[in-house]
Amino acid sequence: MNRSRLAFWIFFAPVIMWLVLLIVLPHLDLLTMSFRGENDYGDPIWTFENYTNFFTEPVYWLTFVRTALYAIITTFITFLLAMPVSFFIAKLARTRAQGALMILLLLPFWVSELVRIYGWMILLRESGVLNFFMLKLGIIDTPIEMLYNDATMIMGLVYTSMLFMVVPLVSVMDSLDDSLIEAAHDLGAGHLTIWRTIIIPHCKPGITSGSIVVFMLALGNYLTPNLMGGKNSLWFTEQIYNQFIASFNWNQGSAFGFLLLLLSSLIIWVGLKLTRQKLGEVAS
Amino acid sequence: MIRSLPRSKTYNWSFNLFILLYFTFLFAPLVVTCVLAFNDSNFPSLPWQGFSLDWFIADGPDRIGLFHDDQNLRSIVTSFQTAFFVSILSVIVGTCASFLFEKEEFRFKGFLYFLMLAPLVIPGVILGISLLLAANTAGTFFEDVFGLDFDLFRPSFWLVVLGQFSFISTFVTLVVSARLRKFDHSLEEAALNLGATQLGVIWHITLKFLRPAIVGAAAVAFLMSFENFNTTLFLVGSEPTLPINLYLQVRDGSTPVINAVSLLLIVGTSLMALANLYFTKKGD
């Protein structure tokens, strides 16, 4: 028994240090910092000011709402695009090709997000590759700036988070018994009915975990909105960055950070409740 | 509808076309980036002006290729060092965590498991600012109480390592736990019956069994660290990692040197990902 206690402490000590020092304490610090401020004499005090600022300045809460809405739109588009792709890989592609297709699908996502965005930038900008070809082919007369607008930004977000939707969907579709679809087909069900009554209900766990991850990644993304979005498409993470690095107002930045954390936890919690799943199940 | 059912020609064709378009969408930015690294032009754009290796090997005065570009080279070295330490640390702690959660029973286990999963749902930006705040608080505390000054508590190399470690360990834990669950406990019991010590069993038997998962997790940790941007952004000091350095260059305008760096990144990470895939397949 003694030896087993020793083993327990060897495992326990580094893990508790990791979780307390690097996860719990920093986030408690974030929370306390968000309630700190200075009074008129420059003395540190406790205050709600950082949060009231958020609600009284339209720029702040509008950015917040916009970010949340766009993250939801991104998640939905990713889902619409990922569904047929995963269906193809799991149910239509030749069994031999499946592995190769999966590898092809995974490869771009191992490359740094920055490289992928940079690729899109040299494709889409005014002097970019796409404009060059369209001019050559005579489709357009003058180059169009396709970067720096909301639509492009959402496309970029969909692109960067695609994989996290496709992988869970493929694995969940793989587990769907073909004979169910065959039976439905033999009994005269059309494509739509089969999708609505068999495929989508079966894929629910995969859809939930994919959506949660994609939503979270879109919400917390900094690079894509910053490099592909326009001057008017400010993302909430950029607000946080501005408070921290540009204005050096750490208290305000902490309040924003905590609000973002709250929003993402809330949406994830609602998603899990609606589909009656646990975080542990979704993660593994 | 699926492999085993009859499908119409149009259905097949349109589906194949869709998949083809999808993969074009996936690979277009990467291919364009790679190709333009070899264009003999001062801007990463078309028209094609001939093949050139200038952006890799030229050493001034007009063009400075990647292999003579000190700033980029230094950031690549920094990224390698960061990823090296992050993968070692997170593999050690992640393996401890999977032993802890799979084999030990203790109070608050469920709560600790939940905490371990938390980094999955905390946006990277928030993790970055929390750690920045906590490091600052700790630094002030040590200075006030003991009069000591630690570099660790300022944005620096080691703070970046800690920041990346704090969420990459979760991924390592999940990968290693999945393998540990498949472990046949009778092997351990046999060794214990034959007089091995508990720690001896773990060292000689369980860890041997886990080796493929641990190697795979280390590779994943290395890649994740190498390409991390969001968390690193807030913790980076005077030694930028490659993604940060690239970001600064992309933001301020672009030269084909960025394409050259991207090409190396794409080739490097793809090779590593493929090798990892190959070895984990073999391990199963």
Nearest CA in chain B to A237: B125
Q: Tens digits of per-residue pLDDT, B171-223?
A: 999 988 888 888 888 888 888 888 888 778 888 888 888 888 888 889 889 98
Contacts of A81 in chain B (CB under 8 A): 22
List, in sequence order, every residue forming a beta bridge with B39; answer none if it has no partner: B51
Whole-angstrom distance, CA of residue B231 vs CA of residue B124 = 5
Whole-angstrom distance, CA of residue A244 vs CA of residue B234 = 9
Contact A111 B223 (CB under 8 A): no
Of B2, B107, B179, which to mutate for an interface test with A (greatest number of A Cβ within 10 Å)?
B2
Contact B130 A27 (CB under 8 A): yes
What is the domain partition of chain B in residue ranges?
71-253
- Could you tell me the two tokens for A27? 């986030």
**Which of A7, A8, A14 lies at the smallest CB-CB distance from B93?**
A14
Contacts of A191 in chain B (CB under 8 A): 1
What is the domain partition of chain A in residue ranges?
48-83+150-283
Contacts of B279 in chain A (CB under 8 A): none
Contacts of A244 in chain B (CB under 8 A): 129, 132, 234
Kindly report the number of other CB atoms within 10 A of residue B171's CB atom: 18
Kindly report the number of other CB atoms within 10 A of residue A40's CB atom: 6
- Could you tell me the two tokens for A214? 């994609």
Nearest CA in chain A to B137: A29
Contact B130 A123 (CB under 8 A): no
**Which of A27, A29, A111 lies at the smallest CB-CB distance from B266?**
A111
Q: Residues in chain A, how many?
A: 284
Whole-angstrom distance, CA of residue B271 vs CA of residue A127 = 32
ipTM of the complex in this document = 0.84
Fold of A48-83+150-283: MetI-like fold (1.10.3720)
Contact A26 B121 (CB under 8 A): no
**pLDDT by residue for chain A (284 residues), tens digit each?**
455 677 788 888 899 989 888 889 999 988 988 888 877 777 777 888 888 888 888 888 888 898 999 999 999 999 999 998 998 888 887 777 888 888 888 888 888 888 888 889 888 888 888 888 888 888 887 877 888 888 889 999 999 888 889 988 988 888 888 888 888 888 887 788 888 888 888 888 888 888 888 998 898 888 888 888 877 668 888 888 888 888 888 888 889 899 999 988 888 888 888 777 666 655 54
Domain B71-253 sits in CATH at 1.10.3720.10
Q: Tell me if B127 sits within 8 A of B166, measured CB to CB.
A: yes
Burial of A281 per CB tally in 10 Å (0-12, 13-18, 19+): exposed
Distance of CA B37 to the CA centre of its chain: 24
3-state secondary structure chain B: CCCCCCCCHHHHHHHHHHHHHHHHHHHHHHHHHHHHCCECCCCCCCCCCCECCHHHHCECCCCECHHHCHHHHHHHHHHHHHHHHHHHHHHHHHHHHHHHHHHCCCCCHHHHHHHHHHHHHCCHHHHHHHHHHHHHHHHHHHHHHHCCCCHHHCCCHHHHHHHHHHHHHHHHHHHHHHHHCCCCHHHHHHHHHCCCCHHHHHHHHHHHHHHHHHHHHHHHHHHHHHHCCHHHHHHCCCCCCHHHHHHHHHHCCCCHHHHHHHHHHHHHHHHHHHHHHHHHHHHC
Whole-angstrom distance, CA of residue B110 vs CA of residue A198 = 34
Contact A132 B165 (CB under 8 A): no
Contact A29 B130 (CB under 8 A): yes
